[in-house]
Amino acid sequence: MMKTTTSLYDVAEHLRTPEDMAAYLEACIEEADGDAVFIAKALGDIARAQGMTQVARDSGLSRESLYRALSGERSPSFDTILKVVTALGLKLSAGVRSEVEVT
């Protein structure tokens, strides 16, 4: 029987361009279905790709606060989300859901 070798996959290693980061965040927001913790974790992946120290500096948050907020273990405040998104050079936008609920 052949051995299967596996290795850890770190998405942050594959987020190289601002376009990659924006596409990843957009896909995660779509997949999250309103799960703020999932979105915070995605922002954490992007922040790690850019460098947590720089993102902390640009967002005005301490590194510790940034790690805690984007750990995927809690739901950060919307204010924190906006600071991080801005520090990452990204923007949030809104659109109409494709599945319109009829009542």
- Entry pTM: 0.85
Q: What's residue 53's pLDDT?
A: 96
How many beta carbons lie within 10 A of that of residue 10, not counting itself? Answer: 11
Over residues 17-49, the pLDDT tens digits come to: 999 999 999 999 999 988 999 999 999 999 999
What is the mean pLDDT of the segment spanning 63-90? 94
CA distance 97 to 83: 25
Q: What's residue 22's pLDDT?
A: 97
Q: What's residue 102's pLDDT?
A: 54
Q: What's residue 15's pLDDT?
A: 96
Instruction: Match 């974790």 to its residue by tokens.
Output: 41
What is the mean pLDDT of the segment spanning 71-99? 90
